[in-house]
Amino acid sequence: MAVKTLEDLFAGGVAGKRVLVRSDLNVPLDGTTITDDGRVRAALPTIKRLAEAGAKVVVAAHLGRPKGEPDAKYSLRPVADRLGELLGAEVELAGDVVGSSAKELTAAQADGSVVLLENVRFDPRETSKNDAERAELAAEFAQLADAFVSDGFGVVHRKQASVYDVARALPAYAGGLVLAELEVLSKLTGNPERPYVVVLGGSKVSDKLAVIEALLPKVDTLLIGGGMAFTFLAAQGHSVGSSLLEQDFVQTARKLLDEHGGKIVIPSDVVVADKFAADAATDTVAADAIPDGWMGLDIGPKTTEAFAAKVSGAKTVFWNGPAGVFEMAPFAAGTRGVAQAIADSAAFSVVGGGDSAAAVRVLGLPEEKFSHISTGGGASLEYLEGKELPGVAVLGEGA
């Protein structure tokens, strides 16, 4: 699919032009403190390049899931401050999405300046299922700019006003981040070097079922950790104590094991706890010997070693989802061990966004040791499932 890129936009000159950039700045916050600025740093190159070329840059983004109205705890103020620090120039934050504050700030912009609109999800039309409502908001976005750049890969799987509809209301271009993500993911779906190993974790099989089914015919090995592993253990007939279990998906997991058992590797041992807390009593047990009333919160050392061995021999690795509750120190060893093995391998390695990307940074692993760390967990998975990404497809409509 042919899409227009930043090179096409720059070919026509951007100095003095108002350029609306949809970025993914949905960062984790502790109160008003950003705990992981990875997405802000990932958004920086496109914004900086436009500003340095003299464009009047207007950035649109969301944070969290406010209920279609202003909510102070979801304000982009901390993001505006951090973006300004990274740019080395003030980033003014509009007091609204497309209202009087947004209009006044963007109308008064100097060439090379950056204005951040307030959280686009403060406007209920952003996520409306009604096409006309979204188009109405997109038209108001379009009044603030001369061109649109889609650079928030983490949201391109959403049919939302600032992602999809605005690309129909303005000349639209793919930003560098979106193009880089698509290029990397296409390597995983095309003809990846083998062995091709996929590591999936996270809490629920239901969240990953579609990507599991899409990837199994293509991969050599699928390593399953995290909470989702217990549904597979239950499918083998094992008791999982009070571990996270999706009973409705046990039969599906059994079917996958029956059909692809040679490719699927599930834990042989687990770290269990008597409660979901960092100060819980813990033990390491065989995966088929989880005590009643105890819950598995990490893969065990034997499993970590086995997973690491599979990863170490791979030529291509895709990792999405932590192996355990890495945010709590007693249950971080599995995720750390697998992530370290990926980092140390010679494989083309892709970290599939979301909690996996956060784990790399929280655990202090060197980001440069991974070939690519995606900014879009959900978008990455939907791409690998073979789904059309609306925010990307719309960019090809006018090309």
User: Helices 38-52 & 77-87, crossing angle to 10 degrees?
Assistant: 60
238 annotated to bind ligand: no
Candidate list 48, 77, 103, 204, residue with the active-site label: 204
Annotated binding residue at 353?
yes
- Candidate list 176, 378, 387, 396, residue with the active-site label: 378
Tokens of 210: 């579609």
Catalytic residue from among 17, 18, 39, 82:
39
Torsion of CA 275, 280, 286, 287, to 10 degrees: 30
25 is known to lie in a ligand binding site? yes
Q: Is 204 designated active site?
A: yes
Check if 159 is active-site: no
Residue 63 known to bind ligand: yes
Are 392 and 3 contacting, i.e. CB atoms less than 8 angstroms apart?
Answer: yes
Catalytic, 129? Answer: no
The answer to whether 337 is a known ligand-binding residue is no
- State yes or no: 355 annotated in a binding site: yes
Q: Is 82 annotated as a binding residue?
A: no
Say if residue 327 carries a ligand binding annotation. yes
On whether 194 is known to bind a ligand per the annotation, the reply is no
- Is 354 noted as a catalytic residue in this protein? yes
203 labelled binding-site residue: no
**Residue 36: is it exposed, middle or buried by C-beta count within 10 angstroms (0-12/13-18/19+)?**
middle
Annotated ligand binding at 381? The verdict is: no
Binding-site residue numbers are 24-26, 39, 62-65, 121, 158, 208, 296, 327, 353-356
Binding-site residue numbers for ATP are 208, 296, 327, 353-356
Active site residues: 39, 204, 354, 378
Binding-site residue numbers for substrate are 24-26, 39, 62-65, 121, 158
